[in-house]
């Protein structure tokens, strides 16, 4: 069958590689794709926001499944349009994607269904929000309600910082996304990313990972889209996984079904593992980037089969199987990221790095220009390695990173540090 994959990041290149392993796949189209996906599929120039153009392409190319990578098209209702026109899709409808698109919606759902999360309040004006801050004090977390490209969250350590965040959001720092603000209790613990595949009625645990959101070594500096990840995250023990499914994921799937917004696709729970158990920080309605790059290379089952089953509301009984290996991804970013990245610099020796045993490189913000590979975005390449342990995967990934010649880029040197420390002390 023919598949259309929407997106252009490292996540989509990793999804494309996994789809390629499926016996069911004939032609793979990626819109818009990147130089990495061009090697294993056909990149197509469609304006994804133009739903009529997507439908038109699906008809002409006999597309049997559309897989939506990023959140914007989901929140924009692309899956609704596809379903209306009888084109199967993997991903939630606009109403179900509110789990990511509106933090206030998700917090209210947690309250109504007893899902463990940080205590919170919602505000649509600055004055009451500021009063609430003064009553509760710091540390406290201030969030713009809607999508803000990962920048709408301020974990304030002082009251002053929290007040400034509230002011900035109501002054329009995030446009309409900040027209409503959620203020919540600051949770303490270790974070983990938990992924489940849902078919509208049921959810299967997929895999876990740990992201590294800060730009600098030792988790310092501003937040980014993610500078690296490893999988599995051993902090999510089988016990914790059972609690996450029973206390967080399953009640959410039930709730969305009751709200006539059944959730199909990937439910990505950002968790805080607190001393009182796992709590939901936030939901995303899609695969994570770079978490996908460390989960899919370990997947032993057929991803396309799984996505089709989810889109048809008929997930298998058994959870997907993964190789008993660790995977680790180091993100290479253009200088000045997460500020405006300096693009256009040349990247050399990627092929040498790809030749390292157990290493796969996926593209994100790259561009080809007459045989040269150039940086064309913030996060540019993902160097992923498999190993028997996270430490081994880490050593291989950095050995490959060190073969790449790119003076215009940088990466963190400590991806996986928590897990490597646990492995070294024999815990976890
Ligand atoms: P988000 O953009 O919603 O993923 O949030 C970015 C980061 O802010 C999360 O990964 C956490 O590190 C942090 N964060 C969000 N909410 C809380 C909370 N209630 N308590 C502590 N940290 C939080
Ligand atoms: N890695 C974080 C995200 O995909 O949202």
Q: What is the pLDDT of residues 360-418, one digit of tens each?
A: 999 999 999 999 999 999 999 999 999 999 999 999 999 999 999 999 999 999 999 99
Cis ω for the linkage preceding 317 (within 30 of 0): no
pLDDT band at 149 (very low <50, low <70, confident <90, very high): low
Residue 62: pLDDT over 80: yes
What dotted CATH number matches 326-425?
3.90.600.10
Hey, where are the domains in the chain?
Answer: 2-91, 119-185, 190-311, 326-425
3-class secondary structure, 157: coil
CB atoms within 10 A of CB 120: 18
Q: How far apart are CA 63 and CA 29, in angstroms?
A: 9
Residue 150: pLDDT over 70: no
Task: Tell me, in angstroms, the distance from the centre of ligand 1 to residue 277's CA.
Answer: 17
Structure token pair of residue 423:
């492995």
Mean pLDDT of 196-217: 98
Task: Tell me, in angstroms, the distance from the centre of ligand 1 to residue 190's CA.
Answer: 11
Structure token pair of residue 240:
């914790």
Cis ω for the linkage preceding 139 (within 30 of 0): yes
DSSP structure class, residue 362:
E
In CATH terms, 2-91 corresponds, of 3.60.40.10, 3.40.50.20, 3.40.50.620, 3.40.50.12780, to: 3.40.50.20
User: Is the minimum distance from the CB of 141 to ligand 1 under 6 angstroms?
Assistant: yes
Residue 168: pLDDT over 60: yes
pLDDT band at 180 (very low <50, low <70, confident <90, very high): confident
Q: Which atom of ligand 1 is nearest to the CA of 187?
A: 20
In CATH terms, 190-311 corresponds, of 3.30.470.20, 3.40.190.10, 3.40.50.720, 3.90.1150.10, to: 3.30.470.20
CA-closest candidate to residue 214, choices 201, 229, 203, 197? 229
Atom 3 (ligand 2) nearest CA: 288
Q: Over the stretch 247-286, which tens digit does the pLDDT of each residue have?
A: 999 999 999 999 999 999 999 999 999 999 999 999 999 9
Cα radius of gyration rounded to whole Å, the chain: 21
Structure token pair of residue 402:
């060190």
Q: Which residue has the higher pLDDT, 428 or 360?
A: 360
Q: What is the mean pLDDT of the chain?
A: 95
User: Is the minimum distance from the CB of 100 to ligand 1 under 6 angstroms?
Assistant: no
- The pTM (predicted TM-score) of the whole model is 0.95
Listed in sequence order, the residues at least 6 apart from 11 whose beta carbon sits closer than 8 Å to its beta carbon are 69, 70, 287, 288, 289, 290, 292, 293
Which listed ligand is nearest to 192 at the C-alpha? 1
In CATH terms, 119-185 corresponds, of 3.40.50.2300, 3.90.25.10, 3.30.450.20, 3.30.1490.20, to: 3.30.1490.20
User: Is the minimum distance from the CB of 150 to ligand 1 under 6 angstroms?
Assistant: yes
pLDDT band at 321 (very low <50, low <70, confident <90, very high): very high
Listed in sequence order, the residues at least 6 apart from 163 whose beta carbon sits closer than 8 Å to its beta carbon are 130, 133
């Amino acid at each position: 069958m023919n598949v259309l994959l929407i997106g252009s990041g490292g996540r989509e290149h990793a999804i494309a590689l996994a789809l390629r392993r499926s016996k069911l796949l004939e032609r793979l189209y990626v819109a818009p794709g990147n130089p990495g996906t061009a090697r294993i599929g056909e990149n197509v120039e469609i304006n994804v926001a133009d739903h009529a153009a997507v439908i038109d392409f699906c008809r002409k190319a006999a597309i049997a499944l559309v897989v939506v990578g990023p959140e914007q098209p989901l929140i924009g209702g692309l899956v609704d349009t596809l379903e209306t026109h009888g084109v199967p899709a993997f991903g939630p409808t606009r109403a179900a994607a509110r789990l990511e698109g509106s933090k206030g919606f998700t917090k209210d759902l947690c309250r109504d269904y007893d899902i463990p999360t940080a205590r919170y309040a919602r505000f649509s004006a600055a004055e009451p929000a500021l009063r609430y801050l003064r009553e509760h004090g710091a540390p406290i977390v201030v969030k713009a309600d809607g999508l803000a490209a990962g920048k709408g969250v301020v974990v304030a350590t002082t009251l002053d910082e929290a007040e400034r965040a509230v002011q900035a959001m109501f002054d329009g720092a995030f446009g309409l996304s900040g027209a409503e603000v959620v203020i919540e209790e600051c949770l303490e613990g270790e974070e983990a990313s938990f992924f489940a595949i849902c078919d509208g009625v049921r959810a299967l645990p997929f895999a876990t990972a740990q992201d590294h959101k800060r730009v600098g070594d030792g988790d310092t500096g501003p937040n980014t889209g993610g500078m690296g990840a490893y999988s599995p995250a051993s902090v999510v023990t089988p016990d914790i996984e059972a609690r996450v499914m029973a206390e967080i994921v399953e009640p959410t799937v039930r709730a969305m079904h009751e709200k006539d917004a059944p959730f199909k696709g990937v439910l990505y729970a950002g968790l805080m593992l607190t001393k009182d158990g796992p709590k939901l920080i936030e939901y995303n309605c899609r695969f994570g980037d770079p978490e996908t790059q460390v989960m899919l290379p370990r997947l032993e089952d057929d991803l396309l089969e799984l996505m089709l089953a989810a889109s048809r509301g008929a997930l298998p009984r058994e959870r997907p199987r993964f190789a008993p290996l660790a995977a680790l991804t180091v993100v290479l970013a253009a200088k000045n990221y997460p500020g405006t990245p300096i693009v256009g610099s040349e990247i050399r020796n990627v092929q040498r790095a790809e030749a390292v045993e157990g290493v796969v490189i996926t593209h994100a913000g790259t561009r080809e220009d007459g045989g040269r590979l150039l940086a064309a975005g913030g996060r540019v390449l993902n160097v992923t390695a498999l190993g028997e342990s996270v430490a081994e995967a880490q050593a291989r990934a950095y050995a490959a990173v060190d073969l790449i010649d790119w003076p215009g880029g940088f990466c963190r040197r400590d991806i996986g540090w928590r897990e490597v420390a646990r492995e070294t002390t024999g815990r976890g």
